[in-house]
Chain A
Amino acid sequence: MSEPEGVPGGASSPGDPRAAEVPSSASVPPVRRSRFDAAIDSIRQKIALQEGTLFLLLAVAIGLFSGLAVVCFRIAIEWTRVGLLGSALYPRTPRVFLVPAIAGLVLAILVVKFFPRVRGSGVTQTKSAVYIYDGFIPFQTVIGKFICCALAIGSGQSLGPEDPSLQMGAGIASLLGRKLKLSREKVRLIAPVGAAAGLAAAFNSPIAAVVFVIEEVIGTWSAGVLGAIVLAAVSSVVVSRWFLGSEPLFRTPAYSLVNPIELVSYAILGIAGGIVSLLFAKALSFVRPRLRAIGGTSQYWLPAAAGLVIGIAGIWIPQVMGAGYDYMDQAMHGQFVWQFLLILAIAKIIATTLSFSSGAPGGMFAPTLFIGAMLGAAVGGAEHILAPNSTGPVGAYALVGMGTLFAGFLRVPLTSVFMVLEVSGNYSIILPVIISNAIAYLISLRFQETPIFDLLSRQEGLDLPSMEELREGQALRVEDAMRPATVPVLSSTDSIAEAIERTQSKQDPNSPEEFFLVRFPTGRWAGVRVPALHKFAADGHAAAQLGDLLGSQRLPRLHLDQPADLAMRLMRDFPYLPVVSRADALRLEGVVSLADILSAYLRKPN
C-alpha cells in the first residue's frame, strides 16, 4: 500500500491538509521573555503531564464525550422516528412508504452537499484514519454522521446506530488528540480508543467493544493502547447507563442447557448462520459496486429509491424498517412462527443491502443482529416442532443466532461470543454460542475469501490491512529455519588448548569465520572464533579455561517457537545463534543463521 504524500514518517508536504494542524516551532518569532513568562513556564512544567499519563487521562475524557454523544444520538434517532413515523409499533400506511423515500431524498442532499464523508462503513473509515491519515478524522464527519444517520435510521432505512457511534467516538478522539497536541504516534492510536468508546456506549457492552476494536481495527493486543481502550469503553458505558439506564438491549429469557443433545440444534444453527452470512456478504458484494457504478445523478435518488422499496415492504413487514431492536426482542419471546422469521431474515438482508449500497449512512451491526436473531428464532421454532420435548427456549436460539451472524458475516469470532455473554448476562449460553459461532465462522472463512470489512474498504478503493490475515497468517518460526548443529559445542570449562584441538578438524561449512558455540553450566551461551582461540594460546593462556577468558560475553539464545524475525534482529554480526530447549537451556536443539532464515522465507508458501 502506498502512503499519501506527507504522511507518516516524512515531513508534511505543502499540499498536505494536515499541515495546518501541525504546530511549527520554527515559525514562531523570537519573543523577549519576561520574568513573569518564566514563572508561568516554570509552573507549567511542574504541572505538565507526561504524554503517557495524558493519553490515559484523555482516554477517560474521550469515553465521557463519546458516551454523551451516543446518548444524544440515540435520543435523536428516537425523536426522529416518532416524529416521522409516529409512535405506534407498526407505522400507519401513508407514512410507512412516504417517509423513507422523502427522507432519502433529503438525506442525499445532505450527504452530497454537506457531508460527503459520512457514507460507507464507520469501521472502514476509522481503519483508514489509523492506517492512512495518521488518525485524522475531520470533526465535520462526526457532525455529519450524527445528523444523517439519525435521519436515515429514524426514517426507516434498514441500518443501525452502532457503526456511526463507533466513528463518532473515533472522530471525537481524533479531534481531542490533535487539539491537545499529542505526538503523531499517539494521535494515530487515539482513533481506535474513541471507536471502542463509541461502540461500547451504543451496545451497552464494554467488553465486546474492546474486543471488537482489538480484533477488527488494531489487530493486535498491544499493551500500549489496551489500557486506554478499556478506560474509554468503561467511561462511555458509565455515561450511557447514567443517562439511559443499565437495561440491556434485549430482555433475554431465562436459559439453561438441560440436555447436551440440544447442542446439535445449535450446530445446525451454526451451519444455517454460515450460509446466511455468505448470502448477505455476496448480496452486498454484488449490489453495492453496481449501484455505485451508476454514477451521474444516482447519488441523489438512490437513497430515496431504496427508501421507497423499504417503505413498500414495510406495509406488509414493518419489522425490516430501522434498526429493529424491538422486533428482535419480540422474536426472543417467541412472537413469530418460524416461517415468518425466515421471511424476516431474508427481507432484512435485501433491505439492508439496498440501504447500505444506496449510500444512505448507517451501520450494519444492528441489521446483522436482526438477521441472526430471526434466523436463530426460526431454527429454535422449527426445532420445537420437530422435537417437542426440547427445553431450549426460542429466545436462546435467537440470542445465539445474533452471535452466529456476527461471527459469520462480520468475521469477528471473539467479539461475537463476548457480545452474546454481555447482552444476555447468562454464562450458561456460552457452549451453544461457541459451537454455533465457530461453525458459522469456519463456513464463512471457507467460502467467502474476503472478510466483509476488507471487501467494503476495497470497494472504496482503500487497501487497508486485513485483521483476519494478520490473525490467521502463519508467521515463520525459528523451528522452520533451524538446522542441526554440525560442529562440536565447546564447554566454558574447556582449556584453550582443548578447545583448539576440538575445533581443528570440525568446522561448519556454513561458517567461514570458524565460529563455535560455548556452553556455560549456568545455561549461558557464548561464541568464539578460531583465530581468537589461537590468539589466547599465543598470549600464554593455553591452560586457562575458555569461560574465564570470554568474560561477560553472551550470545542471544533462541527457542523453537520464537518468530524468525526476532532471530534476525538478534543476529547482529554473529554467524549463527543457538536454539535451545525451553525446559533445559543447556540442551542445544540446533542453530540458525541469517542465510537459514532467508532460505526458509523463500521456501515458505504464503
Chain B
Amino acid sequence: MATSITNPSGPTPSTGWNLSREAMLLVTALALIVLFVFTGFMTRFYHQDERSLARQWSAKADVAMQSGNTKAAIEDYRTALIYSRGNGETSGASEIYELHLAEALAASNHFDEARAYFLTLAEREPGDATVNLELARLAARSGDVSEASRYYNSAIFGVWDRDPAAQRRAARIEYSKFLLEHDQLAEAQAQLIALAAALPSATRGDAALHVQAAQLLMESGATANALEEFQRALQLDRSSSDAARGVDLALQRLGRSRAGNTQ
C-alpha cells in the first residue's frame, strides 16, 4: 500500500453515535439550523466590523485629502474600499469610496488607474453623471475629443444627486469651454445656445449666468446670440457693467450702435 507522509497511518475512524438513518437525518437538519443561526450572528458581527473599519479609513482618507496629502488619501481610500465590499451595506458606500479613490487618483496624476476605476463605476451605473463627468475630464486631458464629447454628453443628460439643473449647467459650460479650446465652434455654439435657453431669468443674481453664456457665445462666434444674452442680463441687472460692456462689444462686432439697436 502506498503510504502518505501527511497521512502516515491512514485514516482513523470517527467515533460517534450509531443512530438510524431517519434519526440521523433529523440530527442533520437540526445541526443545519443551528449552524445557520450561528453563521448568521457571525456574519452580522463581521459586517458590522467591516463597515466600521471602512468608515474609519474613509474618514482618515477625507482628512488626508483635505490636507492635500493625496498619497495617504489614496491608500486609505483603498483600505476603506476593501472593507466596504460585500458587507451588507445598502447605502452604496462601496461606490462612494471607489469614486473618492478614483478622484484622489486623478488628483495625484494617476490617470490610467483613475480611469480604470471610473470605467468600472460607469459600467455599474452608466447613467451616473459624476462618473461620466470625471471620465470626460480624463478624456479631455488626453485630448480625445470624441470620447470626451461622449462622456460630457452622458454627464449633461445623466443623473445628478444634488441640484441637477445647476450641475448640468456647469457640465455644459465646461464642455463648451473644452470645445472652444479644440476649435469645435459649431458644436460649441449648439451647446451654448442650448445652455442659454435653459438659463433661469427670475432674479437679479441670474444675470451673471447670462453674462457667462454670452461671453462664451461671443468666443464661439455667435455674436447675435451673445448680444441677446447680454441684453437679457442687463434686463435682470441694470447695474451689471459686464453686461453693458458685452452689449457694446457685440454691437460693435455686428456693426451697430447701442442707440441704433435700441431704436
A244 CB contact (under 8 Å) in B11, B43, B79: B43
Determine if B1 and A3 form an interchain contact, defined as CB atoms under 8 angstroms apart. yes
Instruction: Closest B residue to A43 by CB, please name it.
Output: B22
Determine if A393 and B113 form an interchain contact, defined as CB atoms under 8 angstroms apart. no
Query: Chain A residues with Cβ under 8 A from B22's Cβ?
Result: 44, 47-48
Determine if A87 and B57 form an interchain contact, defined as CB atoms under 8 angstroms apart. yes
Determine if B32 and A61 form an interchain contact, defined as CB atoms under 8 angstroms apart. yes
A575 to chain B, nearest CB (A): 42
Contact (A72, B123) CB under 8 Å given A2-B1, A61-B28, A180-B25: no
Question: Is A175's beta carbon under 8 Å from chain B?
Answer: yes
Question: Is B251's beta carbon under 8 Å from chain A?
Answer: no
Contact (A334, B7) CB under 8 Å given A4-B1, A5-B1, A64-B32: no
Determine if A87 and B39 form an interchain contact, defined as CB atoms under 8 angstroms apart. no
Query: Chain A residues with Cβ under 8 A from B42's Cβ?
Result: 71-72, 75
A14 to chain B, nearest CB (A): 13
Query: Chain B residues with Cβ under 8 A from A132's Cβ?
Result: 2
Contact (A125, B6) CB under 8 Å given A89-B82, A137-B11, A330-B78: yes
Question: Is B13's beta carbon under 8 Å from chain A?
Answer: yes
Query: Chain B residues with Cβ under 8 A from A120's Cβ?
Result: 4, 6
Question: Is A292's beta carbon under 8 Å from chain B?
Answer: yes
Query: Chain B residues with Cβ under 8 A from A125's Cβ?
Result: 6-7
Complex alpha-carbon distance, A148 and B85, angstroms: 25
Instruction: Closest B residue to A120 by CB, please name it.
Output: B6
Question: Is B205's beta carbon under 8 Å from chain A?
Answer: no
Q: Mark B202-235, 1 if CB is under 8 A from A, else 0.
A: 0000000000000000000000000000000000
Determine if B43 and A71 form an interchain contact, defined as CB atoms under 8 angstroms apart. yes
Partner-contacting stretch, out of B114-122, B167-175, B237-245:
B114-122
Complex alpha-carbon distance, A116 and B18, angstroms: 27
Complex alpha-carbon distance, A331 and B22, angstroms: 52
Query: Chain A residues with Cβ under 8 A from B27's Cβ?
Result: 179
Determine if B13 and A89 form an interchain contact, defined as CB atoms under 8 angstroms apart. no
Instruction: Closest B residue to A3 by CB, please name it.
Output: B1
Complex alpha-carbon distance, A64 and B13, angstroms: 24
Question: Is B198's beta carbon under 8 Å from chain A?
Answer: no
Task: List B residues 100-120 near A (Cβ within 8 Å).
Answer: 110, 112-113, 115-117, 119-120
Query: Chain A residues with Cβ under 8 A from B82's Cβ?
Result: 89, 326
Determine if B123 and A87 form an interchain contact, defined as CB atoms under 8 angstroms apart. no
Determine if B24 and A180 form an interchain contact, defined as CB atoms under 8 angstroms apart. yes
Determine if A333 and B113 form an interchain contact, defined as CB atoms under 8 angstroms apart. yes
Complex alpha-carbon distance, A80 and B225, angstroms: 67
Determine if A461 and B13 form an interchain contact, defined as CB atoms under 8 angstroms apart. no
Instruction: Closest B residue to A176 by CB, please name it.
Output: B28
A135 to chain B, nearest CB (A): 10
Query: Chain B residues with Cβ under 8 A from A221's Cβ?
Result: none
Determine if B5 and A292 form an interchain contact, defined as CB atoms under 8 angstroms apart. yes
Query: Chain B residues with Cβ under 8 A from A88's Cβ?
Result: 79
Question: Is A42's beta carbon under 8 Å from chain B?
Answer: no
Instruction: Closest B residue to A21 by CB, please name it.
Output: B13
Contact (A254, B123) CB under 8 Å given A179-B24, A181-B21, A243-B40: yes
Determine if A89 and B36 form an interchain contact, defined as CB atoms under 8 angstroms apart. no
Question: Is A133's beta carbon under 8 Å from chain B?
Answer: yes
Interface size on A, residues (CB 8 A): 72
Identify which of B6, B56, B98, B112 gathers the most chain A CB atoms within 10 Å of its CB.
Answer: B6
Question: Is B91's beta carbon under 8 Å from chain A?
Answer: no
Query: Chain A residues with Cβ under 8 A from B28's Cβ?
Result: 61, 176, 179-180
Contact (A463, B16) CB under 8 Å given A68-B39, A72-B42, A251-B120: no
Instruction: Closest B residue to A384 by CB, please name it.
Output: B112
Query: Chain A residues with Cβ under 8 A from B120's Cβ?
Result: 251-254, 333
Query: Chain B residues with Cβ under 8 A from A79's Cβ?
Result: 46, 49
Query: Chain A residues with Cβ under 8 A from B20's Cβ?
Result: 44
Question: Is B87's beta carbon under 8 Å from chain A?
Answer: yes
Question: Is A513's beta carbon under 8 Å from chain B?
Answer: no
Complex alpha-carbon distance, A117 and B11, angstroms: 9
Query: Chain A residues with Cβ under 8 A from B79's Cβ?
Result: 87-89
Task: List B residues 1-56 near A (Cβ within 8 Å).
Answer: 1-16, 18-22, 24-25, 27-28, 31-32, 35-36, 38-40, 42-43, 46, 49-50, 53, 56
Query: Chain B residues with Cβ under 8 A from A343's Cβ?
Result: none
Question: Is B75's beta carbon under 8 Å from chain A?
Answer: yes
A227 to chain B, nearest CB (A): 20
B107 to chain A, nearest CB (A): 15
Complex alpha-carbon distance, A478 and B19, angstroms: 51
Contact (A332, B75) CB under 8 Å given A5-B1, A23-B18: no
Contact (A243, B43) CB under 8 Å given A17-B13, A44-B22, A463-B2: yes
A253 CB contact (under 8 Å) in B57, B88, B119: B119
Determine if B7 and A247 form an interchain contact, defined as CB atoms under 8 angstroms apart. no
Identify which of B7, B13, B87, B120 gathers the most chain A CB atoms within 10 Å of its CB.
Answer: B7
Question: Is B200's beta carbon under 8 Å from chain A?
Answer: no
Query: Chain B residues with Cβ under 8 A from A89's Cβ?
Result: 75, 78-79, 82
A75 CB contact (under 8 Å) in B21, B31, B32, B43: B43
Query: Chain B residues with Cβ under 8 A from A292's Cβ?
Result: 5
Task: List B residues 152-183 near A (Cβ within 8 Å).
Answer: none
A168 to chain B, nearest CB (A): 13
B144 to chain A, nearest CB (A): 11
A148 to chain B, nearest CB (A): 12
Query: Chain A residues with Cβ under 8 A from B25's Cβ?
Result: 180
Query: Chain A residues with Cβ under 8 A from B117's Cβ?
Result: 333
Determine if B119 and A393 form an interchain contact, defined as CB atoms under 8 angstroms apart. yes
A239 to chain B, nearest CB (A): 8
Question: Is B83's beta carbon under 8 Å from chain A?
Answer: yes
Contact (A461, B14) CB under 8 Å given A71-B43, A87-B57, A393-B116: no
Determine if B78 and A332 form an interchain contact, defined as CB atoms under 8 angstroms apart. no
Contact (A254, B119) CB under 8 Å given A140-B14, A181-B21: yes
A87 CB contact (under 8 Å) in B3, B32, B46, B53: B53
Question: Is B92's beta carbon under 8 Å from chain A?
Answer: no
Complex alpha-carbon distance, A21 and B14, angstroms: 8
A71-B39, A178-B14 given; 4 more Cβ-contact pairs under 8 Å:
A20-B13, A180-B25, A335-B110, A460-B7
Top 8 A-B residue pairs of the complex, sorted by shortest distance between their CB atoms:
A245-B86, A333-B116, A120-B6, A254-B123, A4-B1, A89-B79, A243-B43, A20-B13
Q: Mind listing 19 A-B residue pairs with CB under 8 Å?
A: A17-B9, A17-B11, A44-B20, A44-B22, A68-B32, A72-B38, A88-B79, A128-B4, A138-B11, A138-B12, A139-B14, A179-B24, A181-B21, A244-B86, A245-B88, A246-B86, A335-B110, A460-B4, A460-B6
